[in-house]
A and B are shown apart, each in its own frame.
Chain A
Amino acid sequence: MKNVELFNVSKSYEKQKEVISDISVSIEPGEFFVLVGPSGCGKSTILRMIAGLEDITKGSLRIDGNEVNLLPPSKRDISMVFQNYALYPHLNVEENIVFGLDVKKVKKFERKERCMEVAEMLGLTDYLKRKPRHLSGGQRQRVALARAIVNQAPICLMDEPLSNLDAKLRAHMRSEIRQIQRKLKITMIYVTHDQVEAMTMGDRIMILNEGKIQQVGKPIDVYNAPANPFVAQFIGSPPMNLATANINLSKQELSIGGRLKLSIPSNDLQSYQEDTVTLGIRPEYLKIVNSINTKSTNNYLDVKVEHVEVLGNETIVSFQLDTYRWQAKWNGQWNVDVGDIVPIAINYESICLFNSASGHLIKGPTQVENHIIHEVTV
């Protein structure tokens, strides 16, 4: 187990604009750390800098406290899994797995033993003599994985390793990789563009956009309190709904497009200085108002349904709010037709507010459906 630290790391090509700016993060030993962001955000570049495949323009990279900026990849005690697996097509599975050991001059007997052990762990024992082209996508993925862990390197880097698999296999491999990482206590740095992978696999995740860190934290914290609208929309599916809202301090009121008004608790008043903010709310917090008596106040909105997706266990309804397209997610199956008028309720407790200029989070949701297993069973 080793830790990896980045201090003010930047990257630019040929004196042009920085593609990575000022990244500082400390990755703990044995941690599963996920770099996530849209394509072109620089997440792969960061991974490749850690691997030593790209030069670091500015800043310092430390592994276990030692600066490794100038070390070649092979001296950094890492293993790496590539998106297209990078299997050697002319070697069979076994030769592929022990390729790195061969170079590191591991004894033949030990090579064989370690290969068998890893093959067993990943269910590859029957395929050892096959060439990669005779394997399915999932099997190739396992070989790539096997090749990475057979090195027993304390740090493993993975660059979108699951993106070439179909959805079902991907879900399966997610848990498998996570289990192997726990078992071998590897420090894992994992790059993906898929927020589901980030949420489900990472101990901590780092969201990147345009070469800059947006937020670092536990997945659930990031989900509940996104640092800015970008993170809010990137994490979670469907994404968080956003709209511009006006604050009227004298009336203690928050209004969206003049139609919906929410009263602000007096305790919160001093945290608002500006007139307009960006309001965000997760689709699952947009509740339908189904009894007349709750309609007594102003905290609901009649919206016209524009699109409905019934997914069996949940229903997603889209509608227009001012110029924004919003989505609501309700549990179970709802019989709603396009064109129906539906009353939607918004709770002050479940909204996020962002500074409309800087995008910083001003207020996160205070009331989330956070279940704790002991309370339910008792």
Chain B
Amino acid sequence: MRWVKKGLVYIILSIAALLIFFPILYAFLISFMTGGELLQGNIFPERFHLENYQKAFDRLPLAHYLLNSLIISLSVMLGQLVVSAMAAYAFVFIPFKGRTLLFFIFISTMMIPWEATMIPNFMTIQKLDWINTYQGLTVPFFAIAFGTFLLRQHFKTIPKELHEASEVAGLSKFRFFIKVVLPYCKTSLVTLGAYGFLTTWNMYLWPLLATNNDSVRTVQIGLKQLQTQEMATEWGVVMAGVIVVIIPTLILLFLGQKQLQKGLAQGALK
């Protein structure tokens, strides 16, 4: 009875996993197929040749796009960590007048959908001459209320005695921040970092607006280009592009899934 139930759960789990993962698996298989194989309706490629990948990199500066995406995602990640950690520190460890009000203002920024502000933002970037620059793609995303919120949540769990012990020892506010608060909250910083990297890597609308040549274009826009160029004939090449684009984030997710799950749930619910 016990193992019958267990077996049943395994079967349902496997079916669900197959359904969820099928599109990715399928894309992976197609990335090895020639146009002819595709038309025949095969599921498995005849052999695992890398021709489609070769082509994908030939037709587009994909490596350049990948590098752009990496630079932009890392910059946003770092920017968010620094800006959010500083704000969260002020909210938790410095008692000042108007703290509650200011925090409320921070929270209220979560209510403003970024898309509602994109028109003036686009104009700002244009005026700053930041179109087709890294700063145009990164700086607007450095401040996020969610990050401040998540870190504030964790900072608040630091026992106040730790703060007082540092005061007695004569630590300055800044050194306390650097030497105690940040190492203490490593896990939340990792969570926020992974989250920031993931969302930036996957960003679509803003890079579409803020770039109009290849210089800082990201892989996501590259995918759209590839798809428009190759759609008629070479799906294998497009899928090769897809696999190249999703591999970094999938690896990041596989490594940090547990962390992300705990961190996001905490940030969301406490």
Contact = CB atoms under 8 A, between A and B. Distances in A.
**In the complex, A touching B, CB below 8 Å?**
yes
Contacts of A86: 159, 161-162, 164-165
A104 interface: yes
A79 B184 contact: no
A-B CB proximity, top 6 nearest: A74-B170, A86-B161, A100-B169, A90-B183, A82-B161, A86-B165
B87 interface: no
Classify the secondary structure of B's interface with A.
helix
Contacts of B59: none
B184 A80 contact: no
Nearest to A82: B161
B60 interface: no
B175 interface: yes
B169 A82 contact: no
Contact of B164 (A80, A89, A90): A80
A147 B164 CA distance: 14
Contacts of A75: 170
B94 to A, nearest CB: 15
B92 interface: no
Interface of B: 159, 161-162, 164-165, 167-171, 175, 180, 183-184, 186
A74 to B, nearest CB: 3
Given A74-B167, A82-B165, A90-B184, 15 more contacts: A53-B164, A73-B164, A73-B170, A74-B169, A79-B168, A80-B164, A84-B159, A86-B162, A86-B164, A88-B180, A90-B186, A100-B168, A103-B170, A103-B171, A147-B165
A334 interface: no
B170 A82 contact: no
B170 A100 contact: yes
Interface in A59-88: 72-75, 78-80, 82-86, 88
Nearest to B158: A89
Contacts of B167: 52-53, 72-74
7 contacts: A53-B168, A72-B167, A74-B170, A84-B159, A89-B184, A90-B184, A103-B175
A104 B164 contact: no
Contacts of B170: 72-75, 100, 103-104
B169 to A, nearest CB: 4
A223 interface: no
Contacts of B184: 88-90
Contacts of A52: 167-168
